[in-house]
Amino acid sequence: MSQSRKILARHVGRELLEPGELVEAPVDLVLANDITAPLAIEVFEKLGRENVFDRDKVVLVLDHFTPNRDIASAEQCAFIRRFAHKYGVNHFYDAGEVGIEHVLLPEEGLIKPGNLVVGADSHTCTYGALGAFATGMGSTDIGAAMATGKAWFRAPEAINVNVSGKPRRWVGGKDLILFLIGKLGVDGATYRSLEFSGDGISRISVDGRLSAANMAVEAGAKNGLFPVDGLTVEYLREAGVTAEPALSEPDDYGYALEVDIDLDGIEPQVALPHLPSNSVGVSESPNVKLDQVVIGSCTNGRMEDMRLAAEIMRGKHVAPGLRLIIIPGSPRIYRRSMDEGLFEVFLETGAIISPPTCGPCLGGHMGILASGEKALSTTNRNFAGRMGHRHSEVYLSGPAVAAASAITGTITDPGEIV
């Protein structure tokens, strides 16, 4: 049985679950943010419950339009604050404590292997990097889950992604997932579980795995799941979570699809407008003049990303006329980047450093594009109009390509300038 269905089966007290079975399962964590929580709260209140199902298992993070960009976003956040205080929600993140939700929750030790996590955000699948079954749902379902602690699931078929080889310099988890989405397409894994296995996994950092699992949904997947190995156990230990290794096992029912990826053969990837599946090696990307580069988001706003960007930028300056925006994903990463001198590198390079926020990723604020502008971003989506005007263009990459491209002003292989 696949790893995802094993987690679901344990939660419903079953030995086995066949692909396609419908089950109602108790969840370990329910998540919403400042965009999705208001509707979920309205649904919750219509149910007439006196309290949330568990004050320690509901998480609210005000990260998308904060610091508040306008009156409407301020009102939404005020509405959520009143709810959090009324019901005593213990994991409510606001102001100086807020980070980008999918960066923050793993750091806070809220994700454990084998957990069943639902969130009113499509990139909730990020937590599969830590061995959890994590998936996004609509706000209506999340409102019901906050009240009952349960949700309905259809047990997914699995796709086995067998990763082998050793990655080249500058290649990481973001390149792995962009390459995979390029093979599968944006709907090639619809309502299936992407389950990663193989010796090559050990050569992808946990930060890189979080980046890869984050974008499982960009292939249509219900979730993405990595094995829990020594690197995972160490990451969790630092977050205050005790865990044991739990490696992948074959699915007794067989896989809907098996994909082999040799890391030796992948160069840094770039996704061309307007789909994440339009991925090519950086050597094949067009020579476009960039107006903006963004390094951050729930995909690549982690410590590894900040260090990698600083390594490439040190002693250099952004291209004339280019805006470089760097967004550490959490207060902890912000502080550590400052302590390690990375901010000095970024500022001398000519970057703008933002507080933790989703901001430009969804065209919210802190970096919206005008008509005709082109941006390279470490975010997870490049749909038309995603980061601003519908006639702008967004290219996706990992932090290494983004940092190098900010220096040259065009999409650049980091090996060319380092």
C-alpha to C-alpha distance for 4 and 62, rounded to whole angstroms: 29
Residue 131 DSSP code = T
What pLDDT is stored for residue 291 in this prediction? 98
* Entry field: residues in the chain: 418
In contact, 185 and 178? CB cutoff 8 Å: no
Preceding peptide of 67 cis, ω within 30°: yes
3, 130 Cβ separation under 8 angstroms: no
Which residues are paired to 293 by β-bridges? 324, 376
Closest CA relative to residue 382, chosen from 306, 309, 279: 279
Q: 315-338, pLDDT tens digit by residue?
A: 999 999 999 999 999 999 999 999
Among 204, 338, 215, 372, which Cα is nearest to 279's?
Answer: 215
DSSP characters over 301-357: -SHHHHHHHHHHHTT--PPTT-EEEE--SSHHHHHHHHHTTHHHHHHHHT-EEPPS-
The pLDDT, as a whole number, for residue 1 is 75
pLDDT for 249 equals 78
Task: Give the DSSP letter of residue 16.
Answer: -
Instruction: Please tell me the pTM assigned to this model.
Output: 0.95
Residue 359 phi, psi dihedral angles, 5° rounding: 30, -100
Neighbouring-strand partners of residue 295: 326
Do residues 34 and 73 make contact, with C-beta atoms less than 8 angstroms apart? yes
The pair of structure tokens assigned to 210 is 């979080």
DSSP codes, 389-415: -TT-EEEEE-HHHHHHHHHHSB---GG
Task: Determine whether 286 is exposed, middle or buried from the number of CB atoms within 10 Å of its CB (0-12, 13-18, 19+).
Answer: exposed
Cβ contacts of 64-67, under 8 Å, gap ≥ 24: 64/33, 64/34, 64/35, 64/357, 64/358, 64/359, 64/362, 64/364, 65/34, 65/35, 65/357, 65/358, 65/359, 65/364, 65/365, 66/34, 66/94, 66/98, 66/357, 67/355, 67/357
Are the C-beta atoms of residues 214 and 115 closer than 8 Å to each other? no
Q: Which of 341, 345, 339 is nearest to 403 (CA)?
A: 345
33 strand-pairing partners = 61
All residue ranges of the chain with pLDDT < 50 are: none
Nearest alpha-carbon partner for 101 in 73, 79, 69, 134: 134
- What local confidence, expressed as pLDDT, does residue 324 receive? 98
Other residues' Cβ atoms within 10 Å of the Cβ of residue 15: 8
| The CA-based dihedral angle spanning residues 86, 87, 91, 93, taken in that order and rounded to the nearest 10 degrees | -20
Q: What is the set of domains in the chain, with CATH numbers?
A: 3-263 (3.30.499.10), 271-416 (3.30.499.10)
- What is d(CA 32, CA 120) in angstroms, rounded to the nearest whole number? 5
* pLDDT score recorded for residue 105: 98
Predicted pLDDT of residue 316: 97
